[in-house]
Amino acid sequence: MVIDVKHLSKSFDYYKKELGLKNSLKNLFHREKLSKEAVNDISFQIEAGEMVGFLGPNGAGKTTTLKMLSGILHPTRGQAKVLGYVPWERKKAFKMQFAIVMGQKNQLWWDLPANESLFLNKCIYEIDDRDYQANLAELTELLDIKDLLNVQVRRLSLGERMKMELVAALIHKPRLIFLDEPTIGLDILSQKKIREFFKYYNQQRKATVVLTSHYMQDVEDLCKRAIIINQGHIVYDGDLHGVNELFAHSKIIKLQLSSPVSQDTLAAFGRVKEHSDFAATLEVPRIELKERSKAILDQLPVVDFNIEDIPVEEGIALLYQRREAAHALA
């Protein structure tokens, strides 16, 4: 087992500050202390070689959890073992076996060519010269950036820079990789290339990957399992597409039409999600799918017909709503 988390919690203390000089003077003598529970009593396990999506809205506790599992933050309560180590003890042997990639944080020196920063990482991780050259050649070839190693980092495009960040993170062949929004801000083609790279890397190196991303395509392409966190609590842990099975009760029907059909006419067959002259997307109840499909084919000028699950992000949104409703009732 690579990650074993038991009842992990993290709270942050802060002080209430109101506007104005009078309140500033008042705070010199008395400050109201508040506490924010970023992560609250979470438990889960991740096996070697798994690629797991760690999902949730902004402020849910995703990055805080990753920082605790990588030893950057010390928890308020609970226990965790990562690669057999307590991460916040920050033992050298532990730090040599994992990598963390944060899409909004840079580890490369901005004013130097990337190969200078990569060589620094080689020294930090005490990589043998032969292994370093072999790893560097493999990673730069896979990511198609071999010709950019001598280019100043500030002169690289965002996509090229992100690829260099990945090389820097993986140069020591980590067994565990934390990816926090690795494709943020990238164009669709760059996102696709990075997803393909991690698929290959996981297959070849059997590395364990924990991924947070707001791009659901990243998660759907790479991960079979999802751990969903909201307001510091884990609300789901299981098969990614099982979110739809558990919390969504609808199907999506996409239609291509030979002649225009009004939105009012389409509304008789289901909830109209999208509509144009020759195309439409309907949401229908799962239990009525057969009857609605037959009626659509019999009564509308359909030239193409496709049935899909509710998109995963919509299933997750429904899950969030259920959790928030449960909190409100409590």
What per-residue confidence (pLDDT) applies to 216? 79
What per-residue confidence (pLDDT) applies to 22? 76
Q: CA 248, CA 317: separation in Å to the nearest integer?
A: 10
Kindly report, as residue ranges, where domains of CATH 3.40.50.300 are found in the chain: 3-9+42-244
If one compares 246 and 202, the residue with the highest pLDDT of the two is 202
Instruction: Kindly tell me the burial class for residue 298, based on how many C-beta atoms sit within 10 Å of its own C-beta (0-12, 13-18, 19 or more).
Output: exposed
Q: In this structure, what token pair is assigned to residue 32? A: 């109201």
Report the Cα–Cα distance between both ends of the chain, in Å, rounded. Answer: 35
Kindly report, as residue ranges, where domains of CATH 3.30.70.1560 are found in the chain: 249-309
pLDDT digits (tens, 9 = 90+) for 23-77: 777 777 777 778 889 999 999 999 999 999 998 888 889 989 999 999 999 999 9
Provide the 10 A C-beta neighbour count for residue 312: 21
Which residues in 128-140 are b (16+ Cβ under 10 Å) and which e? eeeebeebbeebb
| CATH hierarchy code of domain 249-309 | 3.30.70.1560
Residue 298's H or E segment, with its range, is: helix 289-299
Residue of 247, 248, 215, 232 lying closest to 53 (CA atoms)? 215
Residue of 161, 182, 33, 7 lying closest to 103 (CA atoms)? 182
Which fold is adopted by the domain 3-9+42-244?
Rossmann fold (3.40.50)
* Secondary structure (3-state) at 201: helix
pLDDT digits (tens, 9 = 90+) for 195-234: 999 998 898 889 999 999 878 788 888 999 999 888 889 9
If one compares 244 and 297, the residue with the highest pLDDT of the two is 297
Q: How much of the chain exceeds pLDDT 70, in percent?
A: 95
